[in-house]
Amino acid sequence: MGMERQRVRRRRRRRRRRRRRRRRRRRRRRRRRRRRRRRRRRRRAREGERERWRERDRMTERRRAEGGDERQAVER
């Protein structure tokens, strides 16, 4: 009985290793596709962030020109 159990365990381990290799190959393909999608989303998000930063810079420049540093201190 002991010898049979060892053989079964070895067979199961070999099958698991083969399945893991197949899953890794599939995951690599999926990761490449996801990366392409994420890059597109990141570009759109970056464009939105750039617009927000530009708006913030404009507001800070207006406050400085108007002498709004005092206003900021009061708001805080």
User: What b/e readout covers 17-35, taking b as 16+ CB neighbours within 10 angstroms?
Assistant: eeeeeeeeeeeeeeeeeee
Q: Are 63 and 72 in contact (CB under 8 A)?
A: yes
pLDDT digits (tens, 9 = 90+) for 20-76: 666 666 666 666 666 666 666 667 677 788 888 899 898 888 877 877 555 555 555
**pLDDT for 7:** 67
What's the rounded Cα separation, in Å, for the pair 38 and 35? 5
Domain count, the chain: 1
What is the residue range of 67's domain? Answer: 2-75
**pLDDT for 61:** 86
**pLDDT for 63:** 79
**pLDDT for 29:** 64
pTM: 0.28
Question: CA triplet 48, 54, 59: central angle to 5 degrees?
Answer: 130
